[in-house]
Structure 1
């Protein structure tokens, strides 16, 4: 670890970061949106993985306009479904970018999983992505089956916001929330935002940029879940953070506030991980272990463990 730029020491995660740099440079936020998406697509393809045996996919459109992908693993052991919301700073990402991750989570949890291709900024600013996700949430809950809402990074933000809005509107059926290195509206200047301001994979300046692009009101608790006043009555949570990530304290503070409100929470600070470590699960020992713990956490929430 250096004084100015804290970095992990695990060889696998360092090799992962090096491969990421080759596809998605650290200054990518200064490029055009089209270029950022091209880099991101190339990055995701680089870390693709074989599909689990027997798993099937079905693409459809909710309300005739919101693309979703349904994953059916070879073995389904629960009626509870998983609603997965991808990350990408609200600017990049798609059904394909997180396809392998969704497939492996569905297989591990022995549960049907549905992912969403929500509208992206800057073409569609707040609340477009949130509205898309909430429409799909209502669609999934309409048949009475329980639901676990999950997401990574920007998707973790959307997942937490979905759960808060569902509570505010007395919508039942969400039995768990899974937040993976989520951005939840921290202050950008203290704690991990200061300590990990130049962390590999994501900087505090990157986070500020993505917030600016999204254009969500600073006092909107659904966009900034840490600003919520009441966390009581929310569903149990599995929250995992990357230690070398400016978003680390968002996850930790959210877990603390849920616990203080009486919510059952499992919290993990993955000690050698950087932002987006899910993609490193097949090349980093720490990411492999973290992903295994994540899958067990999801399995407990859907009732298959």
Structure 2
């Protein structure tokens, strides 16, 4: 777990480059914001891992929507044939795509030596959170993965998909990378177990704005399943990756402690000195790369035991 006194930031150049790119998005339409973000990720994110091939595919959601997929298959060694992995990308439910997060998905495939399938679920505000969750649920049901991994908003979707399958006890391992926990719709509550301190690249206000957008477009409250994830483990076997400087880390660590007390098998890894979004640059940031490797190695062991 993180210490009471945070260690210094160790990714200042990445923060400056990412912040500069995000500052250029101010005042743009959502469509233009997405295009600019794709260009930003193309400049800063990890390339596709060597020896991993890409193939596009698709599924159809329950309401007829076509869900684009991308299959990442490791080729340097004989890939494991005893189960694939589904990956759900981040982006505050509003940005992110198969392209923007393909460096993470490809790296995951290389580390696990398994096929990883990335899901291009529908985004807000054009779609509702319920529709995004439907797309992810369909992908998990149809692809029958041995593990489901997601980062940031994708991590939240992983937990909510698992909650939908609670009667079958989520027969897959979860990989959660700095996910938002319980909905926070205002900053009236200063309890740091609800949200930790603001950090570079992600503020408390931005998290609240995301939840408000989700709530406005989802009268079904599919994002606010009961009991909250902070009070009940979304699965029996979970590996968690966080970064030290992130307002999402404090509530995540509190949840991990609760899940362990309930008897869930939970591994926890924290990248010292790193910030939200640093996973994209795991190839250049040593502390992020080490934590990412440890997370992937732990997932590999879990899947070997499954």
TM class, shorter-length: 0.7 to 0.9
Whole-angstrom distance in 2 between the partners of 1:230 and 1:206: 24
**Residue 71 of structure 1 pairs with residue 102 of structure 2:** no
1:184–1:224 Cα contact (<8 Å) kept: no
Whole-angstrom distance in 2 between the partners of 1:172 and 1:275: 27
1:194–1:246 Cα contact (<8 Å) kept: yes
Whole-angstrom distance in 1 between the partners of 2:233 and 2:249: 22
Whole-angstrom distance in 1 between the partners of 2:104 and 2:236: 23
Whole-angstrom distance in 2 between the partners of 1:29 and 1:206: 14
Aligned to 1:43: 40
Aligned to 2:161: 162
Normalising by structure 1, we get a TM-score of: 0.85
Whole-angstrom distance in 2 between the partners of 1:59 and 1:37: 20
**Residue 32 of structure 1 pairs with residue 35 of structure 2:** no
State the 1:254 CA deviation. 2.3
RMSD of aligned alpha carbons:
2.8
Q: Deviations over 1:260-282 (max 9, x none)?
A: 22110011232311111101212
Q: Deviations over 1:227-265 (max 9, x none)?
A: 159736823111111221111123212212221221100
Secondary structure of the corresponding residue to residue 175 of structure 2: strand
**Residue 61 of structure 1 pairs with residue 61 of structure 2:** no
Structure 2 CA distance for partners of 1:65 and 1:233, relative to 1, 3 Å: closer
Structure 2 CA distance for partners of 1:250 and 1:229, relative to 1, 3 Å: closer
1:70–1:115 Cα contact (<8 Å) kept: yes
**Runs of 5+ consecutive residues of structure 1 not aligned to the other structure:** 1-5
Equivalent residue for 2:121, pick from 114, 118, 122 = 118
Aligned to 1:201: 201
Secondary structure of the corresponding residue to residue 227 of structure 1: coil
Whole-angstrom distance in 1 between the partners of 2:197 and 2:45: 28
Whole-angstrom distance in 2 between the partners of 1:32 and 1:292: 37
Structure 2 CA distance for partners of 1:51 and 1:236, relative to 1, 3 Å: same
1:165–1:222 Cα contact (<8 Å) kept: no
Aligned to 2:12: 14
**Runs of 5+ consecutive residues of structure 2 not aligned to the other structure:** none
Normalising by structure 2, we get a TM-score of: 0.85
Secondary structure of the corresponding residue to residue 266 of structure 1: strand
Structure 2 CA distance for partners of 1:67 and 1:18, relative to 1, 3 Å: same
1:184–1:226 Cα contact (<8 Å) kept: no
Aligned to 1:100: 103
State the 1:283 CA deviation. 2.0
Whole-angstrom distance in 1 between the partners of 2:175 and 2:80: 19
Q: Deviations over 1:28-63 (max 9, x none)?
A: 576532343133212210124443333221111102
Whole-angstrom distance in 2 between the partners of 1:217 and 1:240: 28
Structure 2 CA distance for partners of 1:225 and 1:151, relative to 1, 3 Å: farther
Whole-angstrom distance in 2 between the partners of 1:20 and 1:229: 30
Aligned to 2:149: 150
Aligned length: 291
Tell which deviates more after alignment, 102-111 or 240-249.
Answer: 240-249
Aligned to 1:128: 131
